[in-house]
Amino acid sequence: DGGITQSPKYLFRKEGQNVTLSCEQNLNHDAMYWYRQDPGQGLRLIYYSQIVNDFQKGDIAEGYSVSREKKESFPLTVTSAQKNPTAFYLCASSTQFVGSYEQYFGPGTRLTVT
Amino acid sequence: GESVGLHLPTLSVQEGDNSIINCAYSNSASDYFIWYKQESGKGPQFIIDIRSNMDKRQGQRVTVLLNKTVKHLSLQIAATQPGDSAVYFCAEGETGANNLFFGTGTRLTVIP
């Protein structure tokens, strides 16, 4: 089956710890994205990657880091510098990095930091 | 319509009735629009899309209407079912731009 997988579904961490969220796609998409979703709010773009070994900051990149060493994988690290990390994190991909193509979403990872 | 606040707009409909969910978009240059459905605790799912050279597009039980004059998009769901209960949000994109931009969503509740 083609699609995007995110793991784990739920993640709990203590404040001050870095944590890495996994995102894998087998759709052969060039572009990948990370969004954050808070209750009652829309999706906010954290980072995006147009192609392997390239990535750019989105609207709320502070406290996050990413890598894109393989086309299929775009892991997100939530660092201890992120002031309010508890949220629902969504990974997406699209065939091209343009605003005229559908983005396919993974099932999401709910991160809780206490 | 969409909201930028903490409280999502809500729509409650009786099972079997038709639902209409609205979205006002902001960029007059946007030429691609998508409706997504998001169930609780899950990622958004594509429902239907429309490009700016069309006013209407139909799918299975869903119809999207686009009014470029007033920058308004609507999603109509025919014969709404309990499984349609979810948050629905629109996204707008522009050919040549970097990304899609997402609205905050409307929560649809279907009453059995």
DSSP annotation string for A49-99: EEETTEEEE-TT-TTEEE--SBTTB--EEE-TT-S---EEEEEEEESSSST
**Mean pLDDT to the nearest integer, A99-112:** 88
Does the beta-carbon distance from A99 to B43 stay under 8 Å?
no
What pLDDT, on the 0 to 100 scale, is given for residue A95? 85
Could you read off the pLDDT of B44-85 as tens digits, one per residue? Answer: 999 999 999 999 999 999 999 999 999 999 999 999 999 999
Query: Do β-strands A10-13 and A109-113 pair in parallel, antiparallel, or remain unpaired?
Result: parallel
Nearest-by-Cβ selection for B8 from A40, A58, A97: A40
Does the beta-carbon distance from A98 to B8 stay under 8 Å?
no
Segment 25-54 of chain A within 8 Å of chain B by CB: 33, 35, 39-43, 45, 48
In angstroms, the CA B49 to CA B105 distance is: 16
What pLDDT, on the 0 to 100 scale, is given for residue A91? 97
In angstroms, the CA B2 to CA A107 distance is: 23
Does the beta-carbon distance from B32 to A99 stay under 8 Å?
yes
**Mean pLDDT to the nearest integer, A48-70:** 95
Do the beta carbons of residue B91 and residue B81 sit within 8 Å? no
What pLDDT, on the 0 to 100 scale, is given for residue B100? 84
Query: Which of A103, A109, A110, A111 is most worth mutating to test chain B (most B CB atoms within 10 A of its CB)?
Result: A103
pLDDT band at A97 (very low <50, low <70, confident <90, very high): low
Does the beta-carbon distance from A105 to B98 stay under 8 Å?
no
- Is a pLDDT exceeding 70 seen at residue A12? yes
Length reported for chain A? 114
pLDDT band at A108 (very low <50, low <70, confident <90, very high): very high
pLDDT band at B4 (very low <50, low <70, confident <90, very high): very low
Q: Mean pLDDT in chain B? A: 90
**Mean pLDDT to the nearest integer, A52-71:** 95
pLDDT band at B103 (very low <50, low <70, confident <90, very high): confident
**Mean pLDDT to the nearest integer, A70-96:** 93
Q: Does A99 touch chain B (CB under 8 A)?
A: yes
Placement of tokens 């796609």 in the chain = A25
Chain B CB contacts of A27 under 8 Å are: none
- Is a pLDDT exceeding 50 seen at residue A1? yes
Q: What's A103's DSSP letter?
A: P
Q: How many CB atoms neighbour CB A69 within 10 A?
A: 10
What pLDDT, on the 0 to 100 scale, is given for residue B96? 76
**Mean pLDDT to the nearest integer, A83-108:** 87
What pLDDT, on the 0 to 100 scale, is given for residue B3? 35
Does the beta-carbon distance from B43 to A90 stay under 8 Å?
yes
Query: Do β-strands B72-77 and B62-67 pair in parallel, antiparallel, or remain unpaired?
Result: antiparallel
Nearest residue on chain A to B33, alpha-carbon basis? A100
Size of interface A-B (CB pairs under 8 A): 72
Q: Does A2 touch chain B (CB under 8 A)?
A: no
Could you read off the pLDDT of B9-33 as tens digits, one per residue? Answer: 899 999 999 999 999 998 899 999 9
pLDDT band at A36 (very low <50, low <70, confident <90, very high): very high
